[in-house]
Amino acid sequence: MREQGRAEVGRRLVIRCLPAPDGQRRLSAVISKRYSKLAVHRNRARRLIREAGRQIFPEIGAYWVMVLPRAGLLNAKLQDMLPEFRRLLTRLGVVPPATNA
């Protein structure tokens, strides 16, 4: 993913994507101790990313998506991070642009 994929960086997230070699879309969260030494912070970030991914997953094309949290995610709520998550995925071309009806 690091060599062949593309990445977008936001205030709260870093998203890397790669066109799926097997045609299956995948979304994963990678949260290391570098993000926070406290397991409660890492688990909260994992839950936020998982919920945001659950809401956006039906729109994702055939890509492998890896999400890494940044320090700005520590105090963020889902409604704060979801627009950024969608914006980064749209910039990468993983999600089609939202149509304002």
pLDDT in tens, 7-59: 999 999 999 999 999 999 999 999 999 999 999 999 999 999 999 999 999 99
Please tell me the distance from the alpha carbon of residue 63 to that of residue 71, in angstroms, as a whole number.
Answer: 26
pTM above 0.85, yes or no: yes
Specify the pLDDT at position 1.
Answer: 80
User: Does the structure show a pLDDT above 50 at 88?
Assistant: yes
Q: Give the domains, in start order, of the chain with CATH numbers.
A: 6-72 (3.30.230.10)
Who's near 91: CB < 8 A, 6+ residues apart?
8
